[in-house]
């Protein structure tokens, strides 16, 4: 079984290269995070930050269903205007400071299926977070836009007339990425309505629904302490992340006591730059903070979110006057004598938002956890339709690997991609993902023709408006709907661009971007040119727009 844990062990050999979170310049935390992440190999933290304004729930322009037969070869345009535009795109790349990077570009008109521009469009690239485009499309196609996850509370028996539950109270997840305090309170209200007054056993968080590794195959070990490296637990809670902040006593604090924090920030002296570092153990929730300054803010992943959920449930029950005799515990797929759901008594349940609603935060805010949980639910439900060639691997593989196999099979069957692509996670944080720019363009064509087109198109960030494009592409505000991608040495953008009389499906990917600044500015120039049919100077774009997007 290709477990992400194997990759962690291999990467530990490079521990001397580990460079944690460097700078914090005044309140501009996210700018400093880029430098730190480029040093440590992680995804740009700004890629997943909360938007400055509410996300739009409807796309800014309609994407027409294209009359494109993906089973037939697509033709490169010979129209003079396309040749000129493509020439300018190539010139922009080759005259930029990123000329030594690897660039892939694919632009397809939805009006007449002509390829307006292709640069290494059939070569393999690491896609970064635009991988979520593929995950969203396959999930919507396989599960349906109305699909919902379910989180339940089970007992081995019914609640007795005197309010006693004789045995453990088990909260059981099936992968809902949006389960939070509201959902927990809903479950407790249902338990109280059934008269629960005492739990004689333990409160157990059960994430055994998914088999396999909880982190992505091909993730670097020093990513998993950050919020974007959160574990993909079947029982996830509050996106499996917590906040670090400066407490009232001017000491670093954390938003939940499930994490323990120690260390201190020393006062700055003689104009010293404020900077702080954070380290969390690979298999615990012990945080160490060091550095100097008066400000601290960050988002850290929580290890063992199932136990965090159980602990929070136990404490909340007690606050509401319900007696709990046991402890908060957690179990997973490796635990013996796990809950038999078929034979257990369901005492309460809540459902997630619909999949159409869930793909919005995944794509708008680029939340990796959503992509990882969608990959696993795909593998759980459809893994048997994509068996591995090796019977041994097929029997041993986890739901993440099964999900990746389903995605690869879907891409081939839908004439989106060929055999040599590599899918190893659902979010794009993996260094083992390899797809072509043309595959993204073809997937976008499929989505635009599908019965879930509105759900997918509405999930994409809108240029200059919301999500990870809220501070980018302001010169073509509302004219581009696209997913951003950014991990160290990789920048990408894929989606739809509205020109005067047509809509383009496009993908722009830059690999081996080793310069200090990322290549988003050049990517934005290229994307804007699809709207304006010209390469314009975007130096005056908001300087903050390219930070971590």
Tell me the CATH class for 149-352. alpha beta
Q: For residue 541, is pLDDT > 60?
A: no
Mean of pLDDT over the chain = 88
Tell me the CATH class for 45-63+85-146+356-499+519-546. alpha beta
CB neighbour burial string for 415-434, b if at least 16 within 10 angstroms, e if fewer:
ebbeeebebbbbbbbbbbbb
From 24-38, 258-272, 390-404, 525-539, the region with the lowest mean pLDDT: 24-38
Show the tokens assigned to 191: 């338990």
Question: Average of pLDDT values for 372-381?
Answer: 98
Predicted confidence at residue 51, as pLDDT, reads 44
Please check whether residue 30 is in contact with residue 49, taking contact to mean a CB–CB distance below 8 angstroms: yes
Residue with tokens 């708008």: 364
Please check whether residue 229 is in contact with residue 213, taking contact to mean a CB–CB distance below 8 angstroms: no
Predicted confidence at residue 532, as pLDDT, reads 87
Please check whether residue 260 is in contact with residue 285, taking contact to mean a CB–CB distance below 8 angstroms: yes
Predicted confidence at residue 47, as pLDDT, reads 52
Predicted confidence at residue 38, as pLDDT, reads 33
pLDDT band at 384 (very low <50, low <70, confident <90, very high): very high
Distance in Å from the first CA to the final CA of the chain: 33
Domain residue ranges in the chain: 45-63+85-146+356-499+519-546, 149-352
**pLDDT tens, 123-146?**
999 999 999 999 999 999 999 999
Q: What are phi and psi of 351, to 5 degrees?
A: -115, 155
Please check whether residue 130 is in contact with residue 440, taking contact to mean a CB–CB distance below 8 angstroms: yes
In the chain, count of helices (H) and strands (E)?
13, 20
Question: Average of pLDDT values for 314-321?
Answer: 97
List Cα–Cα distances, 44 to 41, 287, 344, 405, 468, in angstroms. 9, 21, 43, 27, 11
Question: Average of pLDDT values for 334-353?
Answer: 93
CA distance 21 to 499: 41
Please check whether residue 405 is in contact with residue 383, taking contact to mean a CB–CB distance below 8 angstroms: yes
Q: For residue 16, is pLDDT > 50?
A: no
pLDDT band at 275 (very low <50, low <70, confident <90, very high): confident
Instruction: Sort residue 175 into left (φ over 0), alpha (ψ -120 to 50) or beta.
Output: left
Question: Average of pLDDT values for 307-311?
Answer: 98
Please check whether residue 170 is in contact with residue 235, taking contact to mean a CB–CB distance below 8 angstroms: no
CA dihedral 477, 482, 483, 485 (to 10 degrees): -70
Question: Average of pLDDT values for 19-38?
Answer: 31
**pLDDT tens, 354-366?**
999 999 999 999 9
Question: Average of pLDDT values for 230-254?
Answer: 91
CA dihedral 530, 535, 538, 539 (to 10 degrees): 160
Quote the pTM value.
0.88
Predicted confidence at residue 284, as pLDDT, reads 93
Question: Residue 367: which residues within 8 A CB-CB, separation 6 or more?
Answer: 48, 177, 239, 361
Predicted confidence at residue 46, as pLDDT, reads 41
CA distance 443 to 133: 8
Element (DSSP H or E) covering residue 443: helix 437-449
**DSSP structure string for 108-149:** EETTT-EEEEEESTTS-B--GGGHHHHHHHHHHHHH-TT---
Question: Average of pLDDT values for 108-133?
Answer: 97
Predicted confidence at residue 293, as pLDDT, reads 80
Question: Average of pLDDT values for 15-39?
Answer: 32
Whether the CA torsion 136, 142, 145, 146 is positive or negative: it is negative
**What's the CA angle centered on 279, arms 273 and 280, to 5 degrees?**
155
pLDDT band at 17 (very low <50, low <70, confident <90, very high): very low
Whether the CA torsion 325, 351, 179, 426 is positive or negative: it is positive
pLDDT band at 534 (very low <50, low <70, confident <90, very high): low
pLDDT band at 42 (very low <50, low <70, confident <90, very high): very low
Q: For residue 302, is pLDDT > 50?
A: yes
CA distance 549 to 546: 6
Q: For residue 300, is pLDDT > 80?
A: yes
Predicted confidence at residue 24, as pLDDT, reads 31
**pLDDT tens, 482-527?**
999 999 999 999 999 999 999 999 999 999 999 988 899 999 999 9
């Amino acid at each position: 079984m290709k477990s992400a844990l194997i990759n962690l062990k291999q990467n530990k050999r490079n521990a001397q290269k580990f460079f944690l979170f460097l700078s914090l310049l005044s309140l501009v935390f996210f700018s400093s995070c880029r430098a730190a992440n480029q040093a440590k190999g992680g995804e740009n933290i700004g890629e997943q930050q909360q938007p400055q304004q509410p996300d739009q729930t409807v796309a800014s322009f309609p994407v027409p269903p294209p009359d494109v037969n993906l089973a037939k070869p697509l033709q490169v345009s010979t129209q003079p205007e396309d040749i000129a535009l493509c020439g300018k795109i190539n010139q922009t790349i080759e005259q930029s400071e990123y000329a030594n990077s690897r660039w892939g570009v694919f632009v397809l008109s939805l009006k007449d299926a002509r390829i307006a521009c292709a640069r290494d469009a059939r070569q393999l690239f690491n896609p970064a977070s635009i991988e979520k485009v593929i995950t969203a499309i396959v999930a919507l196609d396989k599960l349906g836009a109305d699909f919902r996850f379910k989180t339940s509370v089970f007992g081995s028996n019914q609640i007795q007339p005197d309010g006693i539950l004789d045995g453990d109270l088990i909260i059981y997840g099936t992968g809902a990425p949006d389960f939070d305090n509201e959902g927990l309170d809903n479950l407790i209200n249902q338990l109280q309505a059934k008269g629960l007054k005492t739990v004689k056993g333990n409160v157990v968080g059960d994430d055994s629904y998914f088999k396999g590794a909880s982190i992505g195959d091909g993730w670097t070990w020093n990513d998993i302490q950050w919020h974007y490296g959160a574990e993909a637990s079947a029982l996830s809670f509050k996106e499996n992340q917590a906040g670090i902040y400066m407490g009232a006593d001017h000491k670093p604090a954390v938003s939940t006591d499930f994490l323990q924090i120690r260390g201190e920030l020393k006062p700055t002296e003689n104009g010293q730059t404020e900077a702080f570092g954070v380290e969390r153990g690979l298999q615990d929730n012990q945080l160490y903070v060091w550095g100097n300054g008066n400000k601290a803010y960050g988002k850290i992943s929580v290890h063992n979110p199932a136990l965090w959920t159980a602990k929070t449930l136990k404490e909340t029950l007690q606050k509401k006057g319900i007696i709990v005799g046991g402890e908060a515990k957690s179990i997973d797929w490796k635990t013996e004598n796990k809950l038999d759901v078929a034979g257990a008594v369901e005492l309460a349940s809540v459902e997630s938002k619909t999949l159409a609603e869930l793909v919005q935060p995944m794509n708008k805010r680029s939340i990796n956890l959503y992509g990882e949980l969608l990959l696993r639910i795909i593998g759980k439900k459809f893994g048997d339709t994509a068996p591995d060639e090796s019977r041994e691997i097929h029997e041993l593989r986890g739901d993440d690997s099964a999900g990746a196999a389903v995605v690869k099979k879907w891409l081939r069957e839908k004439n989106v991609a060929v055999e040599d692509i590599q899918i190893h996670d659902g979010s794009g944080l993996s260094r083992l993902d390899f797809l072509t720019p043309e595959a993204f363009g073809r997937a976008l064509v499929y989505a635009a023709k599908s019965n879930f087109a509105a759900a997918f198109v509405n999930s994409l960030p809108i240029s200059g408006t919301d999500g990870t494009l809220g501070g980018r592409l302001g010169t073509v505000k509302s004219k581009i709907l696209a997913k951003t991608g950014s991990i160290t040495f990789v920048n990408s953008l894929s989606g739809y661009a509205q020109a005067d009389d047509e809509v383009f499906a496009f993908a722009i990917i830059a690999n081996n971007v080793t310069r200090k600044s990322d290549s988003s500015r050049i990517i934005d120039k290229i994307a804007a040119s699809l709207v304006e049919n010209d390469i314009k100077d975007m130096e005056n774009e908001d300087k903050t727009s390219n930070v971590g997007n």
